[in-house]
Amino acid sequence: MAYFPMFVNIENKRVYVIGGGSVAERKAKALMDFGADVTVIAEKIKGKFDCAVIEDKYRDEYIADAFMVIAATDDRAVNKSISQYCRKNGIYVNTADSRSESTFTFGAIMRDENIVIGVSTSGENPSLAKKLRDDIRREYDGNKNRNEKK
């Protein structure tokens, strides 16, 4: 099933990223780029995070006030538990290792100031989404450069 494309203002919204590796790092950065109030929770921090970090085992009470949660641990059971808690409590959740347990997916994002283009394959083919985003970026940059020279 295809996901409905929706652009949401996440500025100052409480967003938790559960996991301390490269996937969590990439998703936390993307969220912070849009002004989210991001906190990373992980037993072991492997990535470099420029946000609040709680170095501890995940517990449901950590995310009780969340607007959105990203479950990006390397533990399938923990990610599933996070998804179940979020769904039960009406919190948007993206489970990095299970599209079916997510209420939204991350598309491939292209941003230039207030222009934001998201490309999604509804989680089916992320590499295709990235390729399409890169194609759009090249076309956009080419048109932008041509217009600036006029």
Number of domains forming the structure of the chain: 2
Task: Identify each DSSP E strand in 1-130 by its residue range.
Answer: 14-18, 37-42, 52-55, 68-71, 92-95, 108-112, 115-119
**What are the pLDDT digits (tens) for 132-145?**
999 999 988 877 77
Judge whether 42 lies within some domain.
yes
Range of the domain at 84: 14-101
- Global pTM reads 0.87
User: Percent of the chain, pLDDT > 90?
Assistant: 67
Same domain, 144 and 76: no
**Residue 62 C-beta-side C-alpha neighbours within 13 Å:** 21
Report the pLDDT value the prediction gives residue 125, as an integer from 0 to 100.
87
pLDDT tens string 86-113? 999 999 999 999 889 999 988 888 888 8
- Per-residue pLDDT at 133: 92
Band of pLDDT at residue 4, cut at 50, 70 and 90: confident
